[in-house]
Amino acid sequence: MASLMFTTCTKNAVTGKRALTLIPESEMIGMSFTEYDKFLSEHPPLPPSDPRVQMVQRVGNRIQKAVEQYYADKKASGDLKGFQWAFNVVDENTVNAWCMPGGKVVVYTGLLPVTQDEEGLAVVMGHEIAHAIARHGNQRMSQGLIVQFGGAALSAALSQKPALTQQLFQQAFGVTTGLGTLKYSRGHETEADKMGLIFAAMGGYNPEAAIAFWQRMSSGGGQKPPEILSTHPSDDTRIKDLQAFMPEAKKYYKPQ
C-alpha cells in the first residue's frame, strides 16, 4: 500500500501538495467526455446567441488562458494534457456549476442571480475549474474505489459495476448536487477557493468579488449543518480564509 501511494501521488503545481490519485488522468478525461456529452443530451444547453451563454464563455475563456499561462510559467503544461475546454449553460433554477476533468464546464442559470456579474461568476468558475485541475474528483473517486473495489483500476471497476462507478464519478464532480452541498472535503474546498481566486485574478477579475459573493450565499437562508459535521467550511470561515488570502491573490490581479 505504501508503494502504491508513493507511485500514484500527483503534485499540485499551484500548492506543491501531493495527493493520492489511483486513476490515470487520461481515463478520467475519457470518462468525463462521455459523461459530459450524456449530460448535455439530457439537459440541452442554451444556444450560443443567448447573452448568458456569451457571458459564461467570455469568463471561461479568460480563465482558461490564465490557467494555461500559469501552468506554462510553472513548466507544468503537461498537467493539462488532453484538456478540451467547453463552457455551457443549462436553463435550470439550481444554484450550481461544475467542471469535469478536461475542462468540461456547466453553469446553471439559477446561479447567475447570485453571482450577479462577471466578477462574481469568475469566482465560481475559477473555483470549479480549480477542483478539476487539482484532481480533487480523482482523489474522491480513488477513495470511493478503495472502499468499493479495494483500489481496482477504473477500467476494472467499470466492467464489474459500471452504474456504481458512474455514480461515484457524478458525485465526485457535483453533477447531481447543488453548490455548497457535500461533494468535496473541507481541505479540497479551501484549496479550490485559493487556486480559483488566483485564476480569476490572472484572468482580469477582481478577487475581492469573492467576499461579496460568499456573503450573498451566506444570506441566502436555508438550514446548514454545523461546520464540524460538514465537509465544507462554514460561510464565515470561508470568508475569513479568503480575506486572509486576498493579499496573495491580488498579486496576480491584472485588470483588463
Give CA–CA dist 190/168, Å, rounded.
22
For 40, the grid coordinates are: 448535455
Q: Which of 35, 118, 119, 128 is catalytic?
A: 128
Q: Please confirm, yes or no, whether 227 is among the known catalytic residues.
A: no
Close Cβ partners of 107 (under 8 Å, ≥ 6 residues apart): 56, 87, 88, 89, 90, 97, 121, 124, 125
In the block, cell 442571480 appears at 113
Q: Pairing state of beta strands 9-11 and 18-20?
A: antiparallel
Burial of 106 (0-12, 13-18, 19+ CB in 10 A): buried
CB atoms under 10 Å from CB of 124, counted, come to 25
Count of C-beta atoms within a 10 Å radius of residue 203: 25
Give the residue carrying C-alpha cell 477513495.
143
> Positive or negative, the Cα torsion across 136, 59, 63, 186?
negative
Region for residue 109 given its phi and psi (left: phi exceeds 0; alpha: psi -120 to 50; beta: otherwise): alpha
Q: Does residue 193 contact residue 238 with C-beta atoms inside 8 Å?
A: yes
Using an 8 Å Cβ cutoff, are 176 and 170 in contact?
yes
Q: Enumerate the active-site residues.
A: 128
